[in-house]
Amino acid sequence: MTAHDTEAQSGTRRLVVDRSACAGHGLCYGRAPEIVDCDDAGYPVLVQETLRTEEHIVAAEEAVAMCPERALSLETL
């Protein structure tokens, strides 16, 4: 494993959706469409579960903060 690989791994995050808590407001996919899409009922579908770029991590953090049901969370891998 190179230093670059280690650096990428240490910054890798994963977006998680608690489907039992989600009410389908759509704020997450409205804020981060490159990471989250929606199904036919308006519930989130992850386009990218594993986030490696700073841009995607920031967008996911903002989507997590916007969720009124607290159905989104970020985990460090």
What tens digit of pLDDT does each residue of 25-75 get?
999 999 999 999 999 999 999 998 899 899 999 999 999 999 999 999 999
Q: What is the SS3 assignment for the chain?
A: CCHHHHHHHHCCEEEEECCCCCCCCCHHHHHCCCCEEECCCCCEEECCCEECCHHHHHHHHHHHHHCCCCCEEEEEC
Whether residue 1 is predicted with pLDDT greater than 80 in this model: the reply is no
Mean pLDDT of 6-16: 70
Is the entire prediction scored with pTM above 0.75? yes
